[in-house]
Amino acid sequence: MKEGKNVIVITGASSGFGALAARALARAGHTAYASMRETTGRNAPQVAEAQTYAADHGVDLRTIELDVASEASAAAAIEQIIAAHGRLDVVIHNAGHMVFGPAEAFTPEQLAAAREPRRFASIAQAAARSRDLGVEQ
């Protein structure tokens, strides 16, 4: 990271380590985007909590819709961040990937899909596109 205020996006930040990281980074003076799925649905309370935290602590903590399993969602989120700031400095991939049930209930293909490394690729590709467009990194 460069010195000064960075623009950071954290995936899977509706709760747990992602939410804690977003708050800690915002407290450290960075612009922190807590990304999550379903910001107007099941995660709407988490969006409200982040907004309240930002207001109460005077920090730059924002939320953004980002589904790491969707290239279109990731690209839209990254492009929205870059449009607002002209750059994206750091991506922290924290989104969880899981299956429920005993391992023997799944085929090897199903288990592999749950750990699909390309889930992160869509975020990385969107950030790389911003570099290709001459956006500061």
pLDDT digits (tens, 9 = 90+) for 44-99: 999 999 999 999 999 999 999 998 878 788 888 988 998 999 888 888 888 766 66
What pLDDT, in 10s, does the model give residues 97-125? 666 778 788 888 877 766 665 555 566 66
Assess contact for 108 and 26: CB atoms under 8 A.
no
Which class for 61: exposed (0-12), middle (13-18), buried (19 or more C-beta within 10 A)? Answer: buried
- The amino acid sitting at 92 is I
Q: Distance between alpha carbon 85 and the CA centroid of its chain, in Å? A: 16
